[in-house]
Every structure is written in C-alpha cells, then in structure tokens.
Amino acid sequence: MARVNVFDTTLRDGEQSAGVNLNRLEKIEIAKQLERLGVDIMEAGFPASSQEDFQSVKEIAETVRNCSVTGLARSFKSDIDAAWEALKGGAYPRLHVFLATSPIHMTHKLKKTPEEVVQIAVESVAYAKERFPVVQWSAEDATRSDYDFLVHIIEKVIDAGADVINLPDTVGYTTPDEYAKLFKHVKENVPNIEGVILSAHCHDDLGMAVSNSLSAIEAGAGQIEGTINGIGERAGNAALEEVSVALEIRKDRYQHETGLVLKEIKRTSDLVSKLTGMQVPGNKAVVGRNAFAHESGIHQDGVLKEATTYEIITPNMVGIESNNLVLGKHSGRHAFKQKAQSFGFELSDAKLKEAFDTFKNLTGKKKEVTDDDLFAILTDKQTEHEDVPKYELKAFQVQYGSINRPTATILLTRPDGKEIEKASTGEGSVEAIYNTLDELLEEEVHLQDYQLNSIGKGRDALAEVYVQLTVNDRTTSGRGSAQDVLEASAQAFLNAVNRTLYMSQPSDLKKEVQL
C-alpha cells in the first residue's frame, strides 16, 4: 500500500467558514486533537493576517511535536517573515506560499502579466527556502489555469526550491476525470517533477471535493488537503474523514492509505463541530448521527444477522462507542480526572475543579451523565480563558405565561467586579433575556445568529446554544450549555461578549485568501 500524506487545514481554511471565529485556546485544543488523529501536516493559520493568528500559530507550532505545522503566506516577503517567526519553534517547520495562476485571477485580481507572476512566484519560493526546510507552493485556481503555463511556472518554482506543489480546485469547478487529467499532465510534462510531492486541495461547490481528491490520488497525488467535517470557505473543503475511510474501505481500488488513527475520527469531528458551532448533518457520511442507523425493517434484520449486509463501515472503526453511563454522583475527582485524560484533555487544577463541580451539579439533576455530557463540560472548561476580567451570570429569573408578556430579571457581575441587576421584556423568553443583557452591558451588541441543539437524547438532555454577535461592530461567537435552555442561551450570549475582552483586533487579510 502506498502512503499518502494528510494535510489538514481545519484551522486555516476551515476557520474561514462564515460565522466561525475560534480563539487561541480553541485552536490549540483542536490542534492537539488533530495531532492525536495523526495528520502529517497541520496548517495552523495565516500568521500575517493578525496578531491573534500569529500568536495562535506560534503556540501551536511550539506545542505540537508529532507532525509538521505550517502557515499560509502570500507571495510577500513580509508574510514569509511573519510565518517564519511564528513557525521556527516547531518540530518540522514548513511554509505554504501561494499565487494565482488562472487567466481570470491574473487579469482581474493580481493585475499582472504571466511573466510577472512567474517572477513573483520564483522570488517568493527562493526567499522562503532560505528559511524553511520544506516549502509548499500552491497555484491558486489551478483547475482554471492554462496547462502549458502551469507546466512552465511549476518547473521554475521547483528550480527555486519548492518541495511540494499544490494544484487546488479553488472554486470547486472541476470534475474527477478533469482533475486526474491535470495531475497526469503535470507529472508527464514538468521535467523536474521527480522527487516533488503533488498535493490536491479541493473545494465542494459542486459536491465533488471528496471524489476529486480520490481521483487525484489515483493520478499520482502524494498528499491530500482538507478539513474535518468538510468545513471551509463557501461550500467547504474535502472532508478528510471521508477520504481516509474511503481509502481504508476501498483499498482494493485505491491501493493507498493514510497514517490517520481512524478511531479518533468521531472525537475530532465532535470537537470541531462544538467549537465552530457548525453542526454535523444527521446524514453526513462517516460521522453523522444517522450514518449507522437502520430504519428499514429489512435492513435491521440483515444487520442483526450479519452487520456487513448493510454496514460497510463499523461504528467502532471511527471511534463511535455505546454511550452508556460513565460516571455517577458517587464518582470522585480522581475518576473524573482519569476520564478527562482518556478524552485527551489536560486541564489545569483550577479548571479541573470547576469542571468537576459542574459535573457533580449535573449528577444531581440528570439520571445519566454520558460521554457526550462530559465532553461538553470538559471542552467548555478547557477552552475558557483564566484570569481574564469578564461578565458573569449570577442569577436570572424569567416570568412567562401564555397571556403575559415574558419578563427577565438578571443579576450580573461586571468585569470590574460590580454587581448590577435589571429587568426587561420581550416577545419570547430568550428575547426577554437578551433585551435585559443588552441593558446591562456597556458594549453595543447585536444578535446575528442563534442555534439550539441537544447534547444526547431524552427529556433531561443538556441544551447547547451557539450564537453569533457583533460587539462594538466586531463579529464574535459564543457557546453555552446547561440543562435549562434559557440558562444556556444567557451563557452563550455572555460567552460571546467576553471573547471580545481578550481577542485582538481582527484583520481583513483572511478575506482575501481563497485558496
């Protein structure tokens, strides 16, 4: 079996999904889980885009030791310098530098001639190679580029020192046979291609990102790029869990494998879904909640007699276990800590105590505390900033009836430690809570999106709320989970506002990147 490298860009391209806004601790938590998953290359961000992104990439590079951490750079020396400063502490630093090569991009976006584009690409790769042991060069919008021009510029950047050549389907335009043809053409016509790895980066605008990635592997790609759950710009990227499982299940066809630890797929998917607020559709391949559900009586009968009659992927393969009671009200802190460690969490003593207290409180209200419940509690605590002044919900009360206007009364602690209390009304209970919070907060806040989901099943399931707000004209997001929907709603709102207290000013640079 030939080995294909996995290049994960969840923290860069995935974070460019509309409405996704990860903070530094959330990115580090995802990075540690991606390392456990076994990705070969992790694109941690775009260091030149903002100080927050620079610091996140730097800390991830210094934390992750079992895979190569990379960062994105435009073909500017300043971008390359910023990336080197962020990545030089990594175990295997590398750079990902890109430049558009399609006629439409060169004419309308770059406003450069093909000759000028070649010169810029060569100079940027040569400059990067002075610092980075591995340089990946991407031909942005490769699938809409002229084949002869691609061959020419690829030859030149390889001469300049490029080790990996990425041929991205930037706008999700191509088809599997066309994409395979592109890879074969490059392999057959670039004279110095020997020893260079070809990479496939596919977007899902036409729903073919996974198929195109598999087609590229058959045509000679030695690296695939994608994201967990397929999140990303517009319709998203190739879902890495789908590509890797397809290679495993159909090894008879593809004769390639990845180094991913498939049992970590579900946990990685859950973490990314929770922290980004992008829920996985029930019918999503590999990780959707219905991926292994059988409604038809014929299917159920077949699976009971022999699972392989209707299941080509076993739940255990991707880390889906039975969700039984794991800890109860008599469980001690040591058992709780061991469970947290088995999930891959490494909490400080203070955060572990807070998480344990939340767990014990939940055991008094809920008949069964499941893995999903614990995962939610631990994730919230692990990604929460310590020692940062913030708003805290001390108490709330909502009066509601079918003939009365809902009224919310909230007691809040401000970042300066002062307690304040107000009451306000709304058309519904959640609106009453948010109207009251609006009056209590000094910031100007506008709600953009509100999502409500349950964690697990049953009438005592935890509620999880995800909101997107603008706070003083800055877009942010927040999460809250509790047994009570209204409490979860209030916590999510405050969580989003609190993020603005420690987040650096965002940059518009990310909006320019459409790799």
Distance CA 133, CA 161 (A): 10
Query: Which among 221, 309, 314, 224 is positioned nearest to 265, based on CA atoms?
Result: 314
Token output for 507: 């940059």
Token output for 59: 């800390």
What stretch of H or E contains 361? helix 349-363
- Residue 87 sits at the vertex; the CA angle it makes with 140 and 266, to the nearest 5 degrees, is 75
Query: Which among 477, 481, 451 is positioned nearest to 464, based on CA atoms?
Result: 481
Mean pLDDT per block of 10 residues along the chain (515 residues) reads 97 92 91 98 96 95 97 98 98 98 97 98 98 98 98 98 98 98 98 97 98 98 98 97 98 97 96 94 92 60 63 89 62 84 85 89 80 85 76 96 93 94 97 97 94 86 93 91 95 92 55 60
Collapsed DSSP state (helix, strand, coil) of residue 209: helix
Collapsed DSSP state (helix, strand, coil) of residue 449: strand
Distance CA 217, CA 24 (A): 34
Whole-number pLDDT of residue 305: 63
Query: Which among 264, 274, 365 is positioned nearest to 321, based on CA atoms?
Result: 264
DSSP 367-402: S-B-HHHHHHHHHHHHTSPSS----EEEEEEEEEET
CA separation, residue 110 to residues 144, 272, 509 (Å): 15, 34, 15
Whole-number pLDDT of residue 239: 98
Q: What are the φ/ψ torsions at residue 343 (nearest 5 degrees)?
A: -80, -10
Collapsed DSSP state (helix, strand, coil) of residue 355: helix
207: phi > 0 → left, psi -120 to 50 → alpha, else beta; which? left
Distance of CA 440 to the CA centre of its chain: 33
Tokens 């391209």 locate to 13
Q: What are the φ/ψ torsions at residue 22 (nearest 5 degrees)?
A: -85, 140
Predicted TM-score (pTM) of the model is: 0.89
Whole-number pLDDT of residue 386: 67
Residue 93: CB atoms within 10 A of its CB come to 20
Distance CA 336, CA 358 (A): 11
Distance CA 502, CA 423 (A): 28
Q: What are the φ/ψ torsions at residue 130 (nearest 5 degrees)?
A: -70, -20
CB 120 within 8 A of CB 76: no
Query: Which among 34, 514, 477, 505 is positioned nearest to 232, based on CA atoms?
Result: 514
CA separation, residue 163 to residues 97, 132, 143, 245, 470 (Å): 12, 11, 20, 27, 42
Written as one letter, the residue type at 512 is E
222 DSSP assignment: S
Distance CA 350, CA 381 (A): 10
Question: Helix crossing, 265-276 with 371-382: angle to 10°?
Answer: 50
List the 462-471 sheet strands across, edge first. 445-455, 462-471, 474-482
Q: Bridge partners of 481?
A: 464
Whole-number pLDDT of residue 302: 58
Whole-number pLDDT of residue 294: 52
Whole-number pLDDT of residue 311: 78
Token output for 164: 């990996």
Whole-number pLDDT of residue 169: 98
Token output for 229: 């759950």
Domains and CATH numbers, the chain: 2-276 (3.20.20.70), 294-321 (no CATH), 333-382 (no CATH), 392-502 (3.30.160.270)
CA separation, residue 320 to residues 267, 269, 281, 316, 508 (Å): 8, 11, 16, 5, 39
Whole-number pLDDT of residue 406: 96
CB 345 within 8 A of CB 336: no
Whole-number pLDDT of residue 403: 87
Whole-number pLDDT of residue 261: 98
Q: What are the φ/ψ torsions at residue 77 (nearest 5 degrees)?
A: -60, -35
Distance CA 153, CA 127 (A): 16
Tokens 């940062």 locate to 388
Distance of CA 390 to the CA centre of its chain: 26
Q: What are the φ/ψ torsions at residue 15 (nearest 5 degrees)?
A: -70, -15
Token output for 100: 């558009």
Helices (H), ranges, 161-296: 176-189, 209-218, 240-249, 251-254, 265-276
Helices (H), ranges, 90-132: 103-105, 114-129
Whole-number pLDDT of residue 505: 42
